[in-house]
Structure formats: structure tokens, C-alpha cells
Amino acid sequence: MRILQLLFAVVIILLLQDVPASGLSDSQQCRNNHGHCRRLCFHTERWEGTCGNGRLRCCR
């Protein structure tokens, strides 16, 4: 029974490790696609998506 409790605790810890990283995923994805996170895009740039949990724009 203790093995099942330990296994359950390990699974919960592994699932909770992804929670803080998910907030950075859109910003990191923008930078990986050679974009920049800005409030407004310049006239020579295109709006590709969002950054900062939807508060900024990913300009490229």
C-alpha cells in the first residue's frame, strides 16, 4: 500500500512541474520562431500570435 501512495505522489509531482512552464510557452514559442514580443507591431512586421499569456503580440 505504501508503494502505491509513493507512486501516486511521484505522479502528482511530475504533473505539477509543467504548471509554471505553461505560462511561458507562448513567449518561448514566439522567440523560437524568430519573433519579438511587443505591445504593438511595427509597420514592417506581421502579427504572428500572442506572448505573455495573451497580453503582448508576437511580431515577426
- Return left, alpha or beta for 55; rule: phi > 0 is left, psi -120 to 50 is alpha, else beta: alpha
CA distance 20 to 57: 21
Is a pLDDT exceeding 90 seen at residue 53? Answer: no
Q: How many domains does the chain have?
A: 1
Q: Which helix (H) or strand (E) holds 36?
A: strand 36-38
pLDDT tens, position by position, 7-33 = 877 777 766 665 554 556 788 999 999
Is 30 a domain residue?
yes
Region 39-46: mean pLDDT is: 92
* Residue 31 within any structural domain of the chain: yes
Report the pLDDT averaged over residues 47-52: 90
Percent above pLDDT 90 for the chain = 43
> Does some domain include residue 45?
yes
Report the alpha-carbon distance of residue 30 to residue 23 in Å, rounded.
13
Could you tell me the CATH number of the domain that includes residue 52?
3.10.360
The boundaries of the domain holding residue 38 are 24-60
